Structure 1
């Protein structure tokens, strides 16, 4: 892990609050191929406590209206965005859902501003790192097709028009520029091993076929077939295989030149335009290390969850429960909570490591990150409706980079978004036809569609409607300001005595990842202590669903 201290030698952790003064629930996590983690509700906030007029007026004074979310529109109004965000070394751009067109469009618009007008040269996406190398080749060299590249990153969330439009703009920006000054585009996530293994095999087949043959069994063990959750726990076998691969590639004569001189002989040998550059070997090994660790955490959590479930089943129908039974149940629940916290933290910590890697790898001085609010915020990464949290990507970056990391959250008033949910309950005509129910071959057997209020339902990608913001939430406060599109300067508002105490208390905020159940809307309301979590919040009053690339309405 890279050590980032401030110029005066103090640890960057000390700057986190100074900077502000100046995944789905546990069941659907396993049943959808998605990359969402949603914040937990660690603080109890009374939804019936109305926001006072003094607070509303104070917030409004720190809200700046913006012209549009349209990325093709003139960008002059974006100069009114908080300067601390625009000039930061690393900017994290969140989203309150994984399926809102206007959030994606605005992020595209702001990224264009950061790239064209502020000199940012690295864009990072919450997607598996090796799989996005094809997208980077398109952005930098114009090779390949962006839609095909997006189809290879697993997540339906990014297979939409708005993300493709950003990639095409980045390509047009790079056209004719010196290669060293071109924008790079890379993924940060580590939930899968397949892409890294496939790229390693291609490189070894080209440059070191004998080594490739020697490692064939270990590479096959590491390969997860593009499935995030395994039917059985393969952690021990994968860890042993990874150790052998690392040892072999680190010591073999035919690979040593790559590891010691990544721009040397191997780079020249990979003449196939579809083969990766030699430096990608390092990225694949790093990604494999993170993915194997992540999958170990998933397996640990599943085992702990099964212990809780078995205890619950044993207690069913019993008239009395002994102290020993209650103690055992409590121990199992504590173990499950600890396993989930470790799972949440592991993924985001490894993503932060990959930010370091990409900055070093590309030579870029500044970067912008595209992800969910739950990841980019500086406070925590957690679960909806559970008092569980771990290190977030944003909190890890704030520890490492101090005031050089800024986070932007998103909120909305009313309108539509796409997400996976019980399609039978979706508005007429909104179902996409993409079934992702519990029968999906991802090792799930927990009944993804189960609800306390109804039977199991097939879960499909569908369009959902909301008719207004949650009561007494930051979303409602920003809606009251009366702008179609706006940005709240959280840092400025935190210094306003009319608002300071309200913001310092965790406030309600609507948050939807890749899944949604309209029967339980309150479970998609989370809390944030805003000055700790975000530097700015973009608000869009009326939203529409992101538009899939496959032509679904």
Structure 2
């Protein structure tokens, strides 16, 4: 068996990954089983460079706020702002403190400098403006969408004025109360103002769609595409806030499902642009149904990867990452009867494996599921090996400077 497994392992290179796939996908998803480790982000960066140089990839999308990501994209394409400002304001979840993320942004800007727009590399966040403590106010996205339309369509077609939106939105801090995550009564999501905003946002998006030809002609496809992102974000946030105010047992199922739905919508929009490397937690990119327990209740939903894969078929490919040790988090050498333990016995420090072939090589010998002593790391499910096209295995993950400064961001 060890020989069979070794035969499926290759160096982690773009060419080796592409050989696992039936065709070049529009979205190549690379998952990670934990957050905040620059070792994994450095590997992602190198793989993206190779995909750019060898396979014609032009976009990288990461698990970060999709609207903040526009700040990064503006910088890497046109040089707007400074690198320090972009790292401070262009990322959510604290990702801007990562040296590997900073190097990614620096490299993309350097690559684009002096090239025509048709050859630019692009950056995107594909998460909603959501944090573990709650959700952002819909103000930023709603006002931006309204402003785009107000400058280009007849006033009498608009469902409201900017002043009406401002009045209904009120102070942003009433939307972002951390207490609302655990206490639905603290959420503004089912107030009369919020319900009116949902109707107005829906009408603004409908107007954007209905006037597509003239809007693209009057501005550009890029500007129209950005307005679509504002529309998706505004309606998604208002829907998320609505369910934050729910008091039934379905509340958390709705919230986790809506987050992945927002991710999926952003990924499907990116797929229209051309081949992209997508990087996020394995749990957001897998095809299998996601499950967990929250507040003692079972929660099950379809991840962004599952939603996108159902729509794109072979145009979506998923490569999961597995780890041997994260000793600074108490994750030591994996037991030999686990998938990670079998891979840890391979000679390479890192490798990529054909996941279906690995599952076949294991045959009826079902490895024991690995149990992590640290909640921030999610081991592979041995029953789902064949659900991905490949597995990237990294034997040992040392503590990074990002970890020392910021600590782990553990929520998928």
Q: Name the TM tier (shorter chain).
A: 0.7 to 0.9
Distance in 1 between the 2:379 and 2:210 partners? 52
8 Å Cα contact 1:190/1:294 also seen in 2:
no
1:508 maps to 2:369 = yes
After superposition, residues 141-156 of structure 1 pair within 5 angstroms as 141-152=78-89, 153-156=91-94
Call closer, same or farther: CA 1:243–1:117 in 2, change over 3 Å.
Answer: same
SS in 1 for 2:114: coil
After superposition, residues 111-510 of structure 1 pair within 5 angstroms as 111-152=48-89, 153-192=91-130, 194=136, 197-198=139-140, 200-201=142-143, 208=150, 211-220=161-170, 230=180, 232-237=186-191, 238-247=194-203, 261-265=214-218, 277=223, 279-300=225-246, 303-304=247-248, 336=249, 338-360=250-272, 364-383=273-292, 388-416=299-327, 464-470=329-335, 472-494=337-359, 496=360, 498-502=361-365, 508-509=369-370
Match of residue 15, structure 2, among 71, 79, 94: 79
C-alpha deviation, 1:381, in angstroms: 2.5
The residue aligned with 1:455 is none
Distance in 1 between the 2:389 and 2:67 partners? 30
8 Å Cα contact 1:258/1:278 also seen in 2:
no
1:94 maps to 2:31 = yes
8 Å Cα contact 1:130/1:195 also seen in 2:
no
Which runs of no fewer than 5 residues in structure 1 stay unpaired? Answer: 1-53, 67-76, 269-275, 305-335, 417-462, 512-517
C-alpha deviation, 1:528, in angstroms: 4.7
Q: Give me the TM-score of the superposition, normalised by structure 2.
A: 0.80
C-alpha deviation, 1:106, in angstroms: 0.6
The residue aligned with 2:396 is 542
1:106 maps to 2:106 = no
Distance in 2 between the 1:532 and 1:292 partners? 37
Structure 1 or 2: more helix by fraction = 2
Distance in 2 between the 1:523 and 1:278 partners? 39
C-alpha deviation, 1:400, in angstroms: 0.9
SS in 2 for 1:540: strand
Q: Give me the TM-score of the superposition, normalised by structure 1.
A: 0.61
The residue aligned with 2:410 is none
Distance in 2 between the 1:522 and 1:103 partners? 15
Distance in 1 between the 2:71 and 2:51 partners? 23
Once the two structures are superposed, residues 162-195 of structure 1 have per-residue CA deviations (whole angstroms, 9 ceiling, x without a partner) of 1111111112222222212212211111244647
What is the root-mean-square deviation in Å for CA atoms of aligned residues? 3.6
Once the two structures are superposed, residues 248-303 of structure 1 have per-residue CA deviations (whole angstroms, 9 ceiling, x without a partner) of 6766xxx89976533354679xxxxxxx9454332112112122223334443xx3
Once the two structures are superposed, residues 439-480 of structure 1 have per-residue CA deviations (whole angstroms, 9 ceiling, x without a partner) of xxxxxxxxxxxxxxxxxxxxxxxx634322255321111101
8 Å Cα contact 1:413/1:475 also seen in 2:
yes
Call closer, same or farther: CA 1:225–1:114 in 2, change over 3 Å.
Answer: farther
SS in 1 for 2:162: helix
C-alpha deviation, 1:524, in angstroms: 5.1
SS in 1 for 2:190: helix
Which runs of no fewer than 5 residues in structure 2 stay unpaired? Answer: 156-160, 408-412
8 Å Cα contact 1:258/1:264 also seen in 2:
no
Call closer, same or farther: CA 1:373–1:258 in 2, change over 3 Å.
Answer: same
C-alpha deviation, 1:87, in angstroms: 2.5
